[in-house]
């Protein structure tokens, strides 16, 4: 009996110290905005669009998080789902409606679990939406999302992004080891570095207005990401400037531009 107990204890200890397989992210710049949905007419932010981004080999798949009235974390871009305000509606009532491909509105748990399955190369780029109710509720959503992602063991696969400066600072304070990128475009790379934020994820027009921020970001170790880049000439310019990430609704086109860029660079 003692020997059996000893063996069981050794199995438990071994499982605790055995390292998880490391994630090696794809070495490209392609972040599929709301998943890879457009080419195959999939719903944005659907699990099908997420899986398509993973199958394409994108380095990242972006998605958006809200919290319902009864505190369920769900994935959807807009503040409304089928005209129902997400933050003021219970999740069961949102389930009255389906996505266009027949999926139900995914919870964050379901979405993260789907993103971990058979995925060794695609980051999960988690955008926490600022609350329409209050700043404090927004921080609460961020805290709950971070906690859930930790519980699921997905922390090493995630990048956090948000438009709310106070929220990105809050997320960074909770998990300083996880990459966080600011979206709003009103802070220089030097300002981001000063508070520990690792990435400037701005609309591509911001970098046109502030071309000096590209060199400043590189000098300060700030990751460069531009959204939402759907035209070939914009893609080509950002590739030439050495952006680490380009967020797009057209991941297939961006892969084509990367191939041409790499061919011309040889």
Model confidence at 162, in pLDDT bands (50, 70, 90)?
very high
**pLDDT of 15 above 90:** no
**pLDDT of 143 above 90:** yes
Model confidence at 23, in pLDDT bands (50, 70, 90)?
confident
pLDDT at 22: 63
Q: Which residues contact 5 (CB under 8 A, 6 or more apart)?
A: none
22 vs 17: which has the higher pLDDT: 22
Model confidence at 266, in pLDDT bands (50, 70, 90)?
confident
For the four alpha carbons of 178, 251, 118 and 62, in that order, the dihedral sign comes to: positive
**pLDDT of 18 above 90:** no
pLDDT at 103: 98
Strand 158-162 and strand 123-128: the pairing is: parallel
Q: What stretches of 97-161 show up as alpha helix (H) in DSSP?
A: 108-116, 135-151
User: What average pLDDT does the structure give for the chain?
Assistant: 93
Distance of alpha carbon 144 from its chain centroid, rounded? 16
**pLDDT tens profile 215-238:** 999 999 999 999 999 999 999 999
Strand 30-32 and strand 245-248: the pairing is: parallel
Model confidence at 28, in pLDDT bands (50, 70, 90)?
very high
pLDDT at 265: 83
> DSSP strand E in the chain: where?
30-32, 60-67, 73-75, 80-81, 84-85, 123-128, 158-162, 180-182, 199-203, 223-227, 245-248
Question: What's the rounded mean pLDDT across residues 175-195?
Answer: 98
What span, in angstroms and rounded, lies between the C-alpha atoms of 26 and 255? 12
Tell me the pTM: 0.92
Asked whether 227 and 184 are in contact (CB, 8 A), the reply is: no
Query: What SS3 string covers 205-256?
Result: HHHHHCCHHHHHHHHCCCEEEEECCCCHHHHHHHHHCCCCEEEECCHHHHHH
What span, in angstroms and rounded, lies between the C-alpha atoms of 60 and 121? 8
């Amino acid at each position: 009996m003692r020997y059996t107990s000893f063996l069981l204890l050794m199995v438990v200890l071994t499982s605790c110290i055995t390292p998880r397989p490391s994630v090696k992210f794809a070495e490209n710049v392609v972040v599929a905005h709301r998943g890879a949905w457009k080419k195959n007419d999939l719903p944005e932010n659907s699990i099908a669009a997420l899986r398509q981004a993973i199958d394409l080999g994108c380095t990242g798949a972006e998605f958006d998080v809200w919290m319902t009235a009864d505190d369920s974390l769900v994935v959807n871009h807009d503040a409304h789902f089928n005209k129902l305000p997400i933050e003021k509606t219970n999740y069961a009532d949102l389930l009255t409606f389906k996505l266009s491909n027949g999926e139900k509105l995914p919870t964050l748990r379901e979405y993260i679990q789907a993103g971990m399955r058979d995925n060794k190369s695609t980051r999960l780029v988690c955008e926490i939406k600022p609350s329409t109710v209050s700043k404090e509720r927004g921080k609460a959503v961020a805290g709950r999302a971070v906690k859930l992602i930790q519980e699921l063991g997905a922390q090493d696969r995630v990048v956090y992004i948000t438009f709310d400066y106070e929220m990105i600072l809050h997320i960074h304070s909770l998990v300083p080891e996880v990459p966080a990128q600011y979206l709003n475009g009103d802070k220089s790379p030097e300002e981001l570095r000063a508070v520990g934020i690792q990435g400037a994820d701005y609309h591509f027009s911001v970098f046109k207005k502030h071309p000096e921020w590209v060199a400043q970001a590189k000098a300060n170790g700030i990751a460069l990401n531009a959204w939402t880049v759907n035209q070939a000439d914009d893609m080509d310019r950002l590739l030439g400037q050495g952006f680490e990430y380009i967020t797009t609704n057209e991941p297939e086109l961006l892969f084509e531009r990367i191939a041409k860029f790499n061919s011309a660079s040889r």
